[in-house]
Chains A and B, each alone.
Chain A
Amino acid sequence: MPSAIIEASRIIKDYGSFRALHSVSLEVGTGEFVALVGPSGCGKTTLLKIIAGFEEPTSGELKIAGSNMDGVPAAKRPVRMVFQRLALFPHKTVRDNIGFPLKLAKTEKVEADRRVRAMLDLMHLNPSYLGRYPAQLSGGEQQRVALARALVSRPGVLLLDEPMSALDVKLKKSLQAELKNLHRNLGTSFVLVTHDLEEAMMLADRICVMRSGRVLQVGTPSEIYYRPVDTFVASFIGDTNLFPVSIANGQGGSVAFSSPIIACDSAIAPKAQCSPTIEGDRASLLVRPEAMRFVEAGNAQPFATLNGKVEEFFIKGASIQFRIRVDGHPVPVVMDLPGTPNIPAAVGADVTIGFDRSDVFLLQE
């Protein structure tokens, strides 16, 4: 990781008797894109506000660009924020909104105008918008103006508080792509708060998953996806399959597991495919939906198989999702297959499904 621009250590935040953050530590590297994710009320926005300077931590230390931020007001921090509801000034034109930080910094007029126009260009906004008011712009255009206002004074860190939560899917996708581009081109550190792990995985270099005021896991999207620390992190990203299993330590540090519903010749997982936090004799076996496949008699048998009945399926575009009811398992098993016009199984059909040893991960139940 490059040198850290944000160093938050053991941050605690209390609102009266309610503890919003329980000793949270996080580092953000220079030029890094970090996403804070978690369900609402997990403390991600509180952490962002503490970084921005809108909230004082109850205890703990926050350094930005090497300086302690204790008592430094928001106006004096080298960070800029894009607000969830954008917070564009309704009484100011696009020009005045974007140019506001420059005006406050007493930037020379010609230079300020040049930079506002440059931002407009960077955001693919038509210069004719300069004289318009926010209410005269579309949602996507307002978004870009908000980004432009936050970036115009070249902050070290850009904070984004769920700025795309109110947009429709298509617009969201294109803005996400632009945001990624922007980050790549500017070299500014981004900290994005979102409740959408998919968005976080698409955009961020590293993801910090939070729950109830605690950091559960910090890691690359791949680590979060394939090596979650617990079932909460594992299931936070959409559909997944978690099978409760009994475990025992096998030879060579590997773990042997068994489940009444999974047929498996040698149910042993290598240590590398086990979460280091596993304790006791019970664990959860994680198999992502795309690792599942149908097993037909005569073909090569996979590592493990399950028998069930197709409950329903959906065409998701690039893939087809099957939900298969397996006796002894409380929820349907989810399986994503590459899309094809020939649906391989009908609803109600008895099927056998399986997965490979390399696709399993054992984690604390």
Chain B
Amino acid sequence: MTDKDIRDSLPFRPLSRRSLLKGLGAGAVFSATGNMPGFSGNAQAGQSINYMCWEGYNSPSILDPFQKSNDVAISVDLITDSAGGFAKLAAGAFRDFDLVSSDCPWIARMGPAGISRFINDADFAEQYAEFYPQFRAPFAPLQFEGKATGLPTRWGWVGPTVNTKFDKLETWKSYAPVFDPAYRDKICLLDWGDWPIMPLALYAGVDPYKKLDDKELEEIRKVIRAAFKNTRAIVADLATAQKGLIDGSFRCLIGGGTYCTSSLRNTGHDYIQSIVPEPRNGMKQGIIWMEATGLIANDRDPAIASKFLKYIVSPEVAVKLAITEATCNLVPNQKAEALFTAQQKSALQMDYMWTAWDNSHFHTIAPNIDDMLAIWQQELAAR
């Protein structure tokens, strides 16, 4: 996707309060955005930060030291859906937030959409210097017309999750078993928006990250329909998916990867691995996902938010962010690598990460995402 594509897909600026009120549905929009984080309860602290983030970022071991040393109170609004979080900010909630941690593609569009500030890479040179070379400035996935919308914070890959007690790793060199009658009623699709669609599209030989024509969308419909044949469940809940993976009732989770398996590996289930399939007909089959943290473009001073951004990518904090109770994920900070224990490194499959990186697409927002989701909805209803 070129910069121009992004601009074309974003023909709007955030609505001003006035233009918002012009619509009769203004109330609906406001009520739909749900609980706006309040500014109450922060009286004892000097400053306050309102933070929209995925789980993990809100861990007390991360937030508490920062709140204490900076005399700042952080209110957290957890998101469970990157698109939903974006929509909420876009509908006007951006005025109330200072920081956001979400999927990289969504952070990337916040800059051009006026929701997020562009950052000056030079201000974060110290941080970039600690990153793996792959993440150093200028980091393309977060760039828009040469300006960065935030810093990368967590990452991993999407590919087959294999329980080696039941399957050999070689079996999953490709997604072929998903469609093999021998795996009937043994496949779990993760009900996480576009995530399960992308790997299936890649297997069908369609690059879902480019603009698709009707023929390609039809290919995607076919591959989704074929995958549904062997699907035991479409699971939105990580614990259920992990349980099935361990007891063998799910032989593979589609749409997941390290995000689903690292925490299991870290708690002793090291026979479970996330791999990336080998390229098929010249098309890479893996997907790299990444989360990033950006500064919200409200009318307040971004100094403290900016300080938090430097804090969250620092090696000590990155380690805490990498190993949380629910999930374990890689971080872009190379200096942090030395702080992990051998067990944690193994859990994160660090010896495999660059292999995965080399065989993967980088996850961005697909131009035809809504078409694909609509196809998903239709095929699901027709089962």
- Complex A–B touching at CB under 8 A: no
Chain A residues proximal to chain B, CB less than 8 Å = none
Interface residues of B (CB under 8 A from A): none
